[in-house]
Every structure is written in C-alpha cells, then in structure tokens.
Amino acid sequence: MGSIKTKKAIAAHDHEQLPWEMIEEILSHVPPISLVRFRIVCKRWNALFNDNTFINIHKLTFQFILTTKSKIYSVSIDPNIKVRELTLDFPCEESDIKYLVDCNEFLLCYMDKATVVWNPWLKQSRWIKADDASKPSFRIDGIGYVNNNSVRVEERRYKTIRSYWTDHSRWKTQDFASNVWKKLELEPIHGDKSLEDKTDILLTRGGVSLNGNLYWIGFYDKTDPLYHLVNFNFSRERFFNVFCYLPCGIKNSLDALVLRVYKEDRLSLLKQCHVTKTIEIWVTKNKINIENGDDVVWMNFMTFSIPNFPSLVPDEFTDSQTSYFIDDKRLVLCSCDETGHPWIYVVEENKLIRKVQLDDVVDPWPLHCTYFPSLVPVP
C-alpha cells in the first residue's frame, strides 16, 4: 500500500510540478531513516543527499547507539524515549564489536583485527584492515578528512589514523581513496615548550572528530590538574600535543571527564566528581580554530548536584564511558549503573527532570555513543 501511495505522490509531482523550494522544505522534515528511500525518485532528489545545507538540517536530531553482546540499538529522545533495534549491514556478530566511536557522519565499530566504518541510516559500511593485521594490538583512533570548505561532502578526502596499544609512538594514516597505510614521521607541535621532553598520555581511546580533525583529552601526570587537548590535523598530518588546556582536570581515576562536540563547530566537556557526584558542563565560547588553540575560551555552561545521582564511572576497570548531548539548555546523558544497566537522564535548569532505565536493552554493560543520523555516504 505504501508503494502505491509513493508512486501516486511522484505522479502528482510530475503533473503539478510543485516549486522546488517547497519540495526541499517538505523533504527536510522527513526523518532520515524514511528519507533514504526517496533517492531513487529522480536525479534532482538524489542530488539533495550531496547538498551541504540539506545534510546539515538532518544532523540536528541526535540519537544514542548502544551495542551489547547480542544486539545493537538506537535510542531517540523526541520527546519520548524510543528504543529501536538495528540490523548490522556487514558480516559480524554484535559480540565482535569491542569499541564504538562516533566520528562525525559515521560510526567506527572496532574489532580485534579490523574496523568497520558504518552509516546505519544509509545501510552502508566499509572494512578497514591493518597492513599487519596479525598484530592484534593495533587500534583505529578515528576518522577525519582534509579540511577544505570549498569542496562538497562527497568530494571530501577522508583518512583514518591508527596506533598500537603497546607503543603509542607508532602511528599510521590511511587515505580512503588509495587504501594505503603510511607511517607518520612524528614531529609533534607543543604549545608549551617546557613539556617537549615529556610523554603524553591519552585519557580516551577514540578521538572526538570535529571539522575533519581529531581531539583527545591528554595529560602528563595523573596528579596534574592541568589536563589538555591533543589534536591531530589530517590536512597537515601533524599532532599538536597541547592544543589548549582544559578548565578542569581530575583528582581521582573515578572522576568522569568526557569530551564531546558542541553545536557542530565547538567542544564541550563533562566532569563529575566521584565523591560529591557534582557534574560540571563546560563549552567553548567560540568555534574551534584548528590553527590556534590559544583562542579557545571555556565557559561554565551548567553545574548541578542531584541527591543520589549515580557515579558516571561506576568502576575504574569498566570500559564504559558516559555519552551525552547538549540540546539547547537541556542535558541528556546515557550511562550505566553499578549493575551495568543503561539509563537515560535528562537535566534541565540544574534539575533532573527525567530518569528512564532502558529495559529493552537486554544485556548489561553495553557500549554506547552519541550519533547524529547522517545522509553522508561512506567513502
């Protein structure tokens, strides 16, 4: 029945010739998962999927992606919390996924000897294999692209970067166009000359992807309150070891410190003290300029303390990091409790206004991340 209605709608369009601006407006309100089927209507409709403005409209709705030993889910909050089971579009058992990272338009599903770049809404995927896959210690740290604002999305030159758990000084990049791995001759740039002889430690595995570049939380000493951002520029293939300092560090390994993208061109930081359970949210005042970390100014966006609020790092041996999103003045978090069950928390005006356990997620300790349904094809 749906197919007949679609054909009638297309036929009506052919006869009546609605203004193109009206067609764009109508399609901009169609959910991404439903919009994909309209690519085949005509070349002009298909071209919308490569239009930067149209793509950005559909990046405004966030979701959480959770994967367990047996299933993978999307969780939307608009305004009700809806859990939907997804189907993997590549040959793999859900239990094979060891780590899940969101990288702009795509998800990185990390496994022992390979990683998959996946767009679940377009049902597209691509395998990334190491040139020496016999070594299980390699990891993909993120995806970026050569930053050229003059090119269209489908013309972006995407790259990935990887390192080794056993040796963080060994890094390689792969250009998606050639599938060739290239060893990086590291000449890191330090914002602070006094730190040039120190070894940088990354707090998280996957980098946060912003405008084609990757950012990690780094530190030189766990007792040092001045944590900083480490940046990798894919255009220059260079690290900036102290891109900027963070407004807060951690005093204990059970403190939570999580970096995320804010408003598409800025960064946000969540910190929770494991003793008081107080949560601070910081955001950068201006959009991030990759060439100058000295311009970064952090502002306190929200601070709240809620009685009996759980720890966002339930166990120092648990590889479960809080996912969160800032929606206007509302904070939405996804985190596991001490038993491994995932919960959604919604905070507004420093008050907890909603708390929901995700009963549909069947296995404990799911991997999870924030993701924006994307119309960008996997390169």
Residue appearing with tokens 């010739």: 17
pLDDT tens per residue across span 174-228: 999 898 888 887 665 555 555 555 666 777 767 899 989 999 988 877 666 678 8
- Percent of the chain whose pLDDT exceeds 90: 23
Whole-number pLDDT of residue 2: 46
Q: How far apart are CA 279 and CA 303, in angstroms?
A: 6
Does residue 99 register a pLDDT over 60?
yes
Does residue 114 register a pLDDT over 90?
no
CB-based contacts of 177-181 (< 8 A; 24+ apart in sequence): 177/379, 181/130, 181/131
Whole-number pLDDT of residue 373: 80
Say if residues 115 and 125 touch (Cβ distance below 8 Å).
no
Chain-centroid distance of CA 193 in Å reads: 31
In total, the chain counts a number of residues equal to 379
**pLDDT category of residue 267 using cuts at 50, 70 and 90:** very high
Beta strands in 275-341 (DSSP E): 279-284, 298-304, 323-327, 330-336
**pLDDT category of residue 148 using cuts at 50, 70 and 90:** confident
β-strands 256-262, 266-272: how paired?
antiparallel
Beta strands in 246-341 (DSSP E): 256-262, 266-272, 279-284, 298-304, 323-327, 330-336
Chain-centroid distance of CA 109 in Å reads: 12
> What is this structure's pTM?
0.82
Beta strands in 130-203 (DSSP E): 138-145, 158-164, 167-175, 180-183, 201-202
Chain region(s) in the chain for CATH 2.120.10.80: 61-371
In CATH, the architecture of 61-371 is 6 Propeller (2.120)
Does residue 48 register a pLDDT over 90?
no
Q: Which amino acid is at 95?
A: S
Q: How far apart are CA 187 and CA 19, in angstroms?
A: 54
Average pLDDT over residues 110-130: 84
Does residue 252 register a pLDDT over 50?
yes
